Amino acid sequence: MIVEGEKACLSAQSLFPDMIVTTWSGGANAYKKTDWKPLKEREIILWPDNDKPGKQAMKGIGAMIYPNNRAVHCLSVSDNSDYAHITGQTVSDNSDKWDAADLYEEIQGDTIKAKKILDIMLKKVKKRVPLRRNQPITRVKERLQPTC
């Protein structure tokens, strides 16, 4: 999972202890300076901040890492209507810059709730085409570009 910012990274790692969570340094516009090669041939989840720079950064990261990975999923974080009943929050648009750190606070670090919410968020991802096991990445023509 890739998130924007150190606080979101630490929060997401706490919420999803079975995942590797990472970020980049220097803010939303500095993602191009990061070497993403260690993520090669993995299934990647992109969790943007709920703001224009965050979504643009994840779109750029998705375009950079897409050719070398099994699947790239970009989460939609603009509203909480599908999981407000889990967080206990009222149904509304998520605030600007809403991210994994905000979710951590909303559910008080509950990893079971976090897993349910992530599953709901992943179901909303429209373009996800993971590869079959041991299938060479270069031979898959039907894979689709991730959208953020």
pTM: 0.83
- In a domain? residue 148: no
Q: Which of 107, 64, 60 is nearest to 88 (CA)?
A: 107
- In a domain? residue 59: yes
**Tally of domains in the chain:** 1
The domain containing residue 118 runs over which residues?
Answer: 2-139
pLDDT in tens, 58-100: 999 998 998 888 888 999 887 778 888 888 776 555 677 789 9
pLDDT in tens, 107-133: 999 999 999 999 998 888 855 444 455
Label the pairing between strands 2-3 and 71-74: unpaired
pLDDT in tens, 14-39: 999 999 999 999 989 999 999 999 99
- In a domain? residue 145: no
